[in-house]
């Protein structure tokens, strides 16, 4: 009885604290407008031809969730399933113009849903012809974009298939519709007990090789210029492990072979010690490695206390470890963005577990980094006393306006 009481008490605490690591399948909402786009600083959509001005976004997906009828469940599958989903940004009644207004103003007049309209599976990885068809579809989409870049989104725990596709669609939309979005959808359950029992952590470990496989297919069978990856929360476990696997197998040739661009780790629920072990390989094969951390991310603080494994990568403790400092000294393409540093000067902290997309400063930096590959110094961020650590100064909106115009000329 005591064991059950403790278990339930811990579960109750984590339900409240980790709820922000995921949403119910319905609804998803369009992220707040990046400050980069507010007030006409940069126009992300002016360059789009008429046929691309649509409220729908096509998202390719790779998932190792089990198939359950006409949808995907929460358990692990031995197959990697490949397909395409269509996401709608806004209501049925929304036009392209109303979506543009909602995407470039703050605050919005109303929330804009991100809805799953349709999904179709092309096939499974065991079927070589299906893999070829899927890669061909991705390549045709790539050739219609300005950048020929792919952005992969790797979700956190306690979310479903819809979440993966929604955020992949949003990353493309707010990057000027110039990416080909891919959702890597690994299996997590919709209840907190699977997190407590480490079932979903095992799923994460067993999914990293599938992400590595997806990267291989995209880099070897398409004309992609750069593959950017954004992971959130427990998705960092999948993301970091997959890149370390690629680096270990292919060595020095990996960077040229896989063409990995910006690798962004947002509010990462991966133990620091695990990440540091993988970081040399990650840094070696990537153009830029960006870690976002906060001192006010309660889910990560409690995850370390209740789940073990030590401090999480996304939680800023006040002082970096010697291993972290050494990484910053020796890895020039590594950037740590401390969203809490400087709060006393600007008058507010950037808090929570979802700040990376819910706060208009944080999502602005992520979008600018993905879209341009620019260094933190050129994205309007300020250097902290520790080399390699950056922060949002009080004048960030003005600084990013200048940076945006310098990098984009005022539009993508």
Those residues of the chain that have pLDDT short of 50 are 1-12, 15-25
What are the CB-based long-range contacts (under 8 Å, 24+) for 88-95? 88/55, 88/56, 88/113, 88/114, 88/115, 88/116, 88/117, 89/30, 89/55, 89/56, 89/57, 89/114, 89/169, 89/170, 89/173, 90/30, 90/55, 94/55, 95/55
The token pair that represents 133 in the structure block: 């068809």
Whole-angstrom distance, CA of residue 186 vs CA of residue 260: 20
Whole-angstrom distance, CA of residue 237 vs CA of residue 386: 26
Whole-angstrom distance, CA of residue 315 vs CA of residue 312: 6
Closest CA to 259 of 230, 299, 288: 288
Which pLDDT score is estimated for 340?
97
Domain that holds residue 26: 2-408
Closest CA to 57 of 137, 16, 114, 104: 114
**Residue 184: alpha-carbon gap to chain centroid:** 10
Whole-angstrom distance, CA of residue 260 vs CA of residue 122: 25
- Does residue 107 have a cis peptide bond before it, meaning omega lies within 30 degrees of 0? yes
How many structural domains is the chain composed of? Answer: 1
Sort residue 267 into left (φ over 0), alpha (ψ -120 to 50) or beta.
Answer: left
The token pair that represents 272 in the structure block: 């620091």
Whole-angstrom distance, CA of residue 274 vs CA of residue 201: 14
Which pLDDT score is estimated for 68?
86
The token pair that represents 379 in the structure block: 């994205």
- Does residue 250 have a cis peptide bond before it, meaning omega lies within 30 degrees of 0? no
Counting Cα atoms < 13 Å in the Cβ hemisphere of 62 gives: 27
Q: Are 234 and 269 in contact (CB under 8 A)?
A: yes
Whole-angstrom distance, CA of residue 230 vs CA of residue 167: 10
Q: Are 371 and 178 in contact (CB under 8 A)?
A: yes
The token pair that represents 67 in the structure block: 């198939």
User: What secondary structure letter does DSSP report for 32?
Assistant: P
The token pair that represents 126 in the structure block: 């065991």
Which pLDDT score is estimated for 15?
46
Which pLDDT score is estimated for 61?
98
The token pair that represents 41 in the structure block: 């600083």
Rg (CA), the chain: 20
Which pLDDT score is estimated for 195?
66
Task: Give the helix ranges, DSSP H, for 348-411.
Answer: 355-358, 360-372, 396-408
Whole-angstrom distance, CA of residue 238 vs CA of residue 384: 29
3-state helix, strand, coil in the chain (%, to 5): 45, 25, 30
CATH of the domain at 264: 3.40.50.1820
């Amino acid at each position: 009885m005591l064991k059950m009481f403790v278990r339930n008490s811990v579960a109750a605490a984590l339900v409240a604290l980790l709820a922000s690591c995921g949403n119910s399948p319905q609804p998803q909402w369009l992220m707040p407008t990046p400050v980069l786009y507010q007030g006409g600083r940069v126009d992300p959509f002016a360059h789009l031809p008429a046929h691309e001005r649509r409220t729908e976004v096509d998202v390719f997906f790779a998932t190792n969730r089990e198939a359950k009828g006409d949808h995907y469940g929460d358990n692990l599958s031995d197959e990697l399933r490949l397909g395409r989903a269509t996401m709608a940004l806004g209501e049925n009644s929304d036009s392209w113009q109303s979506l543009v207004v909602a995407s470039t103003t703050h605050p919005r007049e109303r929330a804009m849903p991100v809805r799953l309209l349709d999904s179709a599976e092309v096939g499974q990885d065991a079927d070589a012809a299906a893999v070829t068809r899927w890669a061909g579809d991705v390549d045709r989409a790539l050739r219609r974009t300005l950048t020929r870049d792919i952005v992969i989104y790797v979700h956190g725990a306690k979310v479903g298939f819809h979440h993966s596709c929604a955020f992949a669609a949003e990353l493309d939309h707010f990057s000027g519709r110039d990416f080909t979005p891919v959702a890597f959808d690994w299996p997590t359950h919709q209840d907190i007990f699977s997190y407590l029992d480490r079932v979903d952590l095992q799923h994460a470990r067993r999914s990293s090789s599938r992400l590595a496989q997806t990267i291989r297919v995209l880099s070897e069978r398409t004309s992609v210029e750069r593959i950017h990856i954004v992971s959130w929360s427990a998705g960092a476990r999948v993301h970091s492990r997959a890149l370390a696997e690629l680096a270990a197998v292919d060595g020095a040739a990996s960077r040229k072979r896989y063409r990995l661009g910006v690798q962004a780790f947002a509010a990462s629920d991966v133990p620091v010690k695990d990440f540091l072990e993988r970081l040399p390989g990650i840094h070696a094969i990537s153009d830029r490695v960006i870690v976002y951390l906060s001192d006010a991310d309660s889910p990560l603080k409690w995850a370390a206390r209740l789940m073990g494994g030590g401090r999480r990568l996304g939680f800023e403790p006040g002082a970096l470890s010697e291993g972290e400092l050494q990484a910053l000294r020796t890895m020039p393409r590594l950037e740590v963005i401390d969203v809490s540093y400087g709060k006393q000067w600007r008058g507010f902290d950037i808090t929570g577990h979802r700040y990376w997309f819910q706060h208009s400063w944080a999502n602005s930096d992520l979008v600018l980094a993905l879209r341009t590959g620019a260094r933190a110094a050129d994205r309007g961020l300020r250097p902290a006393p520790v080399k390699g650590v950056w922060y949002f100064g009080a004048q960030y909106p003005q600084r990013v306006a200048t940076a945006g115009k310098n990098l984009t000329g005022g539009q993508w």
